[in-house]
Amino acid sequence: MHGEGMIPEGSHAVMLYELHTTDEIYRLIGRIDTTSPHQERIDAMAALGDSRDPRAVRPLITCCSDENSEIRRHAIRALYSMKSGRAVAALTERLKDKNEARTSRKEAAKALAAIRSHGAIAGLVDITLDTGEEPDIRIFAATMLGRMGKG
């Protein structure tokens, strides 16, 4: 697979190609650990999100509490791809955290809307009704709720 003219080893496409193996899933889960280099963690989270493998949900939820905002944002994106109800509490926490980057908060709202569970809807409704919340976050959460009714 890695011969001349093929996909370069270590690329995102190769990671996706190899994801069908249990060993590869666990290798990627190991790469999102805090001891791994920053970009390696981000690449592994993207590959795990694309895999939609349920074994990756819990480690990605853990990354939603990382001290690095970029890591949190990529964990949210990966969880959006997975659409797992197990991620609702972590995504709601990111959405409601007024210290979280606006981009990450909106991505958390988008992920909650994709999950479409009762808990996900409740988190979006809470933000929409919170008069102390930033107007653009409230409007975005309301927009996500509106889109849920059309899907």
C-alpha 105/C-alpha 16 separation (Å) is 27
Mean pLDDT, to the nearest integer, of 114-128?
96
pLDDT over 50 (residue 76): yes
Encode pLDDT of 93-108 as tens digits: 999 999 999 999 999 9
pLDDT over 70 (residue 116): yes
| CB neighbour burial string for 22-48, b if at least 16 within 10 angstroms, e if fewer | eebbeebbebbeeeeeeeebbbbbbbb
Band of pLDDT at residue 1, cut at 50, 70 and 90: very low
Model pTM score: 0.85
pLDDT of residue 138: 97
Band of pLDDT at residue 10, cut at 50, 70 and 90: low
Q: Which domains does the chain have, with CATH numbers?
A: 1-82 (1.25.10.10), 86-151 (1.25.10.10)
